[in-house]
Structure 1
């Protein structure tokens, strides 16, 4: 079975760069609207997102206002010599409430807090 893979290039502030495409033996340049439409219909199996270390400030966002919320799971990531972060995500359902912070601090955070308390005391 073939996968429908959306590949896109974005800046750190989420502005889509030319060359984004949807692949299934098909390449469509500048297909941000198509990516959003396919995502809304839950048809995309995998996202390849290359994040370039620049801030463009304006331009077409990869996901515009009104895009349906959804969680993604990172399945692969690497960084190029020029600082481009190349990440692969798969859809992971709804965004779980409270999913942006760990419920319990890790050992390093506990040590950091203890150190701050000692220095303040």
Structure 2
């Protein structure tokens, strides 16, 4: 069975409002699915908090929180099936959902505070 994910991410840009974009991701039940998200990190001072949530991106924080990072490590995690396997110190905050289930289909929000 094929699952459809609608990835939406929000980059909150200092003094210039925000932008939202998205791309569909397909996965199979029982397989790992990765939803891409990242931001530019040139120095340690560029590291920032971010969160992943279910549903559309709100204007602040994340709805239906999946996980939260302080820029260096995951500080809150709803379930061990949701993991950030990329290099956080380089801004790779792509979400991997282990052994996807039918209930995982839907819209996700990656919100990076810049």
- By the TM > 0.5 criterion, same fold? no
1 or 2, which has the higher helix percentage? 1
1 or 2, which has the higher strand percentage? 2
The structure number with the bigger radius of gyration is: 1
Q: TM-score, with normalisation over the residues of structure 2?
A: 0.32
Q: TM-score, with normalisation over the residues of structure 1?
A: 0.30
